Amino acid sequence: MEHTIFGLVKKRCEIAGQYKAAVKAAEALKADLDAIDRALVLCGYEEDPKGIAPRGKYKQLFGRNELKLTIINMLREAPADDEAIAARIIDAKGWDADDALRADVLKRVRHAIQRQQKDGHVVQDFGPDGCLWRLAQ
């Protein structure tokens, strides 16, 4: 029992140190945000700077035009729905896809298809299997 207590005390010390460092880093980030907010106001920004939405880093999964060209090549073979296209892309890339990655790829596929629809490259085909995408004639 004594070894267990010693191990837990040691682990608690490690985690407390990590927590202290994280709080210090968060306070530094907060100070940076406050400085930027003051600079925005000084430069004439009239809205509330706290209303500016935070954004995370973009995770690049595809090269330039890679997703667009992949979708077009898949639709040359046969019409397909967006979920089938996303699943085939994940398989083709050989990714071990969890739910988050599948949702991310599906979202990107849907946006790419919508852009291609606006450009007139693909059209919706409503058939007995539901909504399928196919290349425009």
Domain residue extents for the chain: 2-51, 66-135
pTM exceeds 0.95, yes or no:
no
Q: Note the Cα 101 to chain centre separation in Å.
A: 8
Question: What are the tens digits of pLDDT across the range 25-68?
Answer: 999 999 999 999 999 999 999 999 888 888 877 788 888 999 99
- For 100-127, what is each residue's pLDDT tens digit? 889 999 999 999 999 999 998 998 887 6
For strands 130-135 and 122-127, give the pairing: antiparallel
Q: What would the CATH number be for the domain defined by 66-135?
A: 1.10.10
Cα separation, 126 vs 23, in Å, equals: 54
- Please state the separation of Cα 123 from the chain's center in Å: 26
pLDDT at 100: 86
Quickly list DSSP for 68-103: HHHHHHHHHH--B-HHHHHHHHHHHHT----HHHHH
